[in-house]
Chain A
Amino acid sequence: MKFISIAVKDFKELVRDRRGLFFILLFPIFFMMIFGFAFGGMGEGNTPHNIAIVNYDQGTINSTSGGNVNYGNNFITALQDANYENSSVKLFNITTTTDSHAKDLLRQRTVDAELIIPANFSNSVAALINNTLQSSTGQTSSVNSSTINNTSTVIISGDTGFMGFGVAQGILVGVLGQYQDDIVNSVNNQIAGTPGAEPTKFIDTKVQSIPGTQNFTQFDFLAPGMIVFAILLLATTVAAILTREVESGTLLRLKMSKMRSFDLLFGGLIPWSLVAGAQVVILLAVAIILGLHWQGSFYSIILAIFIGIIGGVASIALAMIIASFAKTDRQAANLGTLIVVPTSFLTGAFFQLPGVFLNFFGHSFQVYDLLPWTHTLTALRSVLVFGSGWNLVSYEVEMSALLTIILFVIGVFLFSRTRLRAEN
């Protein structure tokens, strides 16, 4: 069983090469940590959004009490008190400041958005209250003119290219709408003389999360992508090691012996597949520490290791292809990086790419689906993040395995042809 001797040799070389081990195991962990800190929220799914508020509201006279009332301040208090649903976490961290200072904070991205409350905000709220009163008592004639004259515009300002702004402005618009609804309800209840029930709604909307995803962050999407990235990085390391075997002449020694291509390549597969499986476990553990909302069980870890090993075999096949053309281990590492990094983007490890479809015999399919790691990633996301079982990921795993076999055959063919035959 020569392939076992080769596997043992590769395993010993692997564990004794500290620098190589560092690159294989620790480098992806560093990546995972960076992404975890950036997008994970460290175990807290809901985090307050920082907003700066500039309040120009001059207030208005309360028609019933005759005193001065500032609805701008009232709205700020409402924002400060707002919590995430079923949570004690505040929606906003509020800084009340001037417009120029708020703009500075926006540029520094210290705040996600700036909210400018106009000078006539209180007049508008007062008009809304009057409007509600008049419509409830049937005096509809003056409603329209009152509304038109007292319309105010609350400005939400920010960097539209910044994801934080996108989220914060969406929540602010919702909270402002809720504030208006609460005023109308309150007036209606006062007219009715009771705290009253909510008015009947005929059409309502409700945002519903997939079970278990209520607290999800961007990191939950990214963590399986990082595992696939790490598995893909194996191709760079294995290609460099295979090329080093050529460069150091040890492959020539093996070539002279009774070793077959199968022994070398299959023997090499064993330790490297184990590394791929270990990467899945280690990176999953790191991801959970960093805030991944893992929903799986022990069974899903076993399934994820299996999926990772198939992805690892695909990476080794890619390494053989790279090693067939690279002349030095440095060249192999460079060429590997040049291939692995764009490939990890194509698989959607970091973000979803726009769909590119190909038609083949009347069937339409995504170009990215030709890469085995795309299926590895989909399966890993499904298993690790949503806790899916074999039934739900079997198609992805089978596709990944099929494409890996094709890639492996190409790899073996090219490597044997260029490296294991007599020179010409």
Chain B
Amino acid sequence: MDFMVEAIDLTKRYDDLMAVDSLNIGIKKGEVFGFLGPNGAGKTTSIKMMVGLLRPTSGKVYINGIDVQKIEKGSIGICPQELMLWENLTCKESLNLMADMYEIRKNIRDPRVQKLLNDLFLQEKADTVVSKLSGGMKRRLNLALAVVHEPEVVVLDEPSEGLDPQSRRVLWNYIRSMRDDEGKTVILTTHIMDEADQLSDRIAIIDHGKLIRLDTPEKLKKEIGEGDVVDIKLSDPLRNEDLIHDLEDQKDVISVHEVNGRINIRALNAVGKLPMMMQTVEKLDLRVADISVRQNTLEDVFIELTGTGLRE
């Protein structure tokens, strides 16, 4: 199959640290490809190599069949997780500058910049210097600068970080329109599972520099376990471990994890298993402060695959 972006045995080693370990990924043209992993898992390193900003220790990256080091500049647009903006230029000046750097002619540049400002709700701030924009506006401008030259591949590195729900909606709609209306290939890294779930056609989960899973969100959720999650909060969270230990041994319970002081129990037909779970609680002389049942989410999949330990 011909991929828009293809990484073959991509490896990056820093002294004793293996940041990316033989990564093999193929990203199809016109899809939004989610890239998930805990902090330090190797996401940003992988992306930097995939767009040619970082030389791999070994392995190859091809963009539309061409070695990434030999592709024409402008084939890729990057929206980095940090704001990379000229604080003393206005929104319009910044966009015009980047368009000039990609050698876009003025008669094409001007309407394109205008459309971007409209699409990302920055029109009113077109002539405002960046240092006076709000955080959300800066994020949107950060994205606009990455796509002003209309690249075939757009890399969005945690684009929603720190955005309010309204700004996030604007951003998500724009990402969908890039795929649906313009046929662009979008690589999206995020920590917001809801974002990855809603936007991505396929998701790769990497940890410790290795690819753990690669599939559609639906299939990933099914693979990790169909059914529901029972979410219990004990009055005494110090005894969470006692309950986790006893529940893990029970039949039909797929997994039990502590997440943010609460216990997540994943099981098939969870509602039917509730009496059995409550008996265990009573047996241990514990009290339940809160209980709910919900459907399996991508976050459950992520925790299941990467664990709950901090990665900082």
Q: Residue A250 at the B interface, CB < 8 A?
A: yes
- Choose among B84, B96, B97, B149 the residue that contacts A252 (Cβ–Cβ < 8 A): B84
Q: Residue A12 at the B interface, CB < 8 A?
A: yes
| Residue pair A422, B78 in contact (C-beta under 8 Å) | no
- Choose among A12, A255, A256 the residue that contacts B93 (Cβ–Cβ < 8 A): A12
| Residue pair A423, B103 in contact (C-beta under 8 Å) | no
Give the distance to chain B from A387, nearest Cβ to Cβ, in Å: 40
| Residue pair A256, B51 in contact (C-beta under 8 Å) | yes
**A-chain residues with CB within 8 Å of residue B84 when the two chains form the complex:** 248-250, 252-253
Contact flag A9-B74 (CB < 8 Å), given A249-B82, A422-B55? no
| A423 vs B78: C-alpha distance when bound (angstroms) | 16
Contact flag A257-B89 (CB < 8 Å), given A16-B129, A252-B84, A422-B53? no
| Residue pair B100, A2 in contact (C-beta under 8 Å) | yes
Instruction: List which A241-299 residues lie within 8 A (CB) of chain B.
Output: 248-250, 252-259, 263
Most chain B CB inside 10 Å of its own CB: which residue of A16, A249, A253, A258: A253
Closest residue of B by beta carbon distance from A254: B101
Q: Residue B145 at the A interface, CB < 8 A?
A: yes
Instruction: List which B73-89 residues lie within 8 A (CB) of chain A.
Output: 73-74, 76-78, 80, 82-89
Closest residue of A by beta carbon distance from B72: A258
- Choose among A5, A16, A17, A424 the residue that contacts B97 (Cβ–Cβ < 8 A): A5
| Residue pair A12, B101 in contact (C-beta under 8 Å) | no
| Residue pair B80, A257 in contact (C-beta under 8 Å) | no
Q: Residue B54 at the A interface, CB < 8 A?
A: yes
Q: Residue B3 at the A interface, CB < 8 A?
A: no
Interface string of B124-140 (1 = CB under 8 A from A): 00000100000000000
| Residue pair A249, B80 in contact (C-beta under 8 Å) | yes
Q: Residue B227 at the A interface, CB < 8 A?
A: no
- Choose among B52, B82, B101 the residue that contacts A422 (Cβ–Cβ < 8 A): B52
**A-chain residues with CB within 8 Å of residue B234 when the two chains form the complex:** none
**A-chain residues with CB within 8 Å of residue B169 when the two chains form the complex:** none
| Residue pair B100, A5 in contact (C-beta under 8 Å) | yes
Closest residue of B by beta carbon distance from A248: B84
Closest residue of A by beta carbon distance from B74: A258
Give the distance to chain A from B258, nearest Cβ to Cβ, in Å: 37
| Residue pair B53, A256 in contact (C-beta under 8 Å) | yes
Closest residue of B by beta carbon distance from A257: B101
| A9 vs B76: C-alpha distance when bound (angstroms) | 23
| Residue pair B73, A423 in contact (C-beta under 8 Å) | no
Interface string of A1-16 (1 = CB under 8 A from B): 0100100010011001
Q: Residue B287 at the A interface, CB < 8 A?
A: no
What is the number of residues of chain B that contact chain A, defined by CB distance less than 8 Å? 32
**B-chain residues with CB within 8 Å of residue A258 when the two chains form the complex:** 73-74, 101-103
Give the distance to chain B from A213, nearest Cβ to Cβ, in Å: 46
| Residue pair B149, A250 in contact (C-beta under 8 Å) | no
Q: Residue B48 at the A interface, CB < 8 A?
A: yes
Instruction: List which B54-108 residues lie within 8 A (CB) of chain A.
Output: 54-55, 69, 73-74, 76-78, 80, 82-89, 93, 96-98, 100-103
**B-chain residues with CB within 8 Å of residue A254 when the two chains form the complex:** 101
The SS class assigned to the B binding surface is: loop
Give the distance to chain A from B136, nearest Cβ to Cβ, in Å: 19
Give the distance to chain B from A238, nearest Cβ to Cβ, in Å: 15
Give the distance to chain A from B177, nearest Cβ to Cβ, in Å: 23
Contact flag A250-B101 (CB < 8 Å), given A423-B48, A423-B54? no
Give the distance to chain A from B102, nearest Cβ to Cβ, in Å: 5
Give the distance to chain A from B66, nearest Cβ to Cβ, in Å: 16
Interface string of B30-67 (1 = CB under 8 A from A): 00000000000000000010011111000000000000
Contact flag A422-B103 (CB < 8 Å), given A12-B88, A252-B80, A258-B74? no
Closest residue of A by beta carbon distance from B90: A12
| A423 vs B55: C-alpha distance when bound (angstroms) | 6
Most chain B CB inside 10 Å of its own CB: which residue of A5, A13, A250, A252: A250
| Residue pair A252, B101 in contact (C-beta under 8 Å) | no
| A252 vs B77: C-alpha distance when bound (angstroms) | 11
| A252 vs B86: C-alpha distance when bound (angstroms) | 12
- Choose among A2, A16, A252, A259 the residue that contacts B53 (Cβ–Cβ < 8 A): A252
**B-chain residues with CB within 8 Å of residue A263 when the two chains form the complex:** 101
Closest residue of A by beta carbon distance from B82: A249
Give the distance to chain B from A2, nearest Cβ to Cβ, in Å: 6
| A249 vs B157: C-alpha distance when bound (angstroms) | 14
Closest residue of A by beta carbon distance from B80: A249
Instruction: List which A63-103 residues lie within 8 A (CB) of chain B.
Output: none
**B-chain residues with CB within 8 Å of residue A16 when the two chains form the complex:** 88, 129
| A349 vs B171: C-alpha distance when bound (angstroms) | 56
**B-chain residues with CB within 8 Å of residue A256 when the two chains form the complex:** 51, 53, 73, 76-78
- Choose among B74, B86, B129 the residue that contacts A257 (Cβ–Cβ < 8 A): B74
| A311 vs B97: C-alpha distance when bound (angstroms) | 29
| Residue pair B85, A250 in contact (C-beta under 8 Å) | yes
**B-chain residues with CB within 8 Å of residue A422 when the two chains form the complex:** 52-55, 69
Instruction: List which B198-247 residues lie within 8 A (CB) of chain A.
Output: none
Residue ranges of B at the interface with A (Cβ–Cβ < 8 Å):
48, 51-55, 69, 73-74, 76-78, 80, 82-89, 93, 96-98, 100-103, 129, 145, 149
A to B CB contacts below 8 Å, 27 in the list? A2-B103, A5-B97, A9-B93, A9-B97, A12-B93, A13-B86, A16-B88, A17-B88, A248-B85, A248-B86, A249-B82, A249-B84, A252-B80, A253-B78, A253-B98, A253-B145, A255-B53, A256-B51, A257-B73, A257-B98, A258-B73, A258-B103, A259-B101, A422-B53, A422-B54, A422-B69, A424-B54
Residue ranges of A at the interface with B (Cβ–Cβ < 8 Å):
2, 5, 9, 12-13, 16-17, 248-250, 252-259, 263, 422-424
Known: A5-B96, A263-B101; 10 extra A-B contacts, CB below 8 A, are: A13-B86, A248-B84, A248-B86, A250-B85, A254-B101, A256-B53, A256-B73, A256-B76, A258-B102, A422-B53
The 8 closest A-B pairs by CB, nearest first: A249-B84, A257-B101, A5-B100, A16-B88, A13-B88, A258-B73, A259-B101, A423-B54
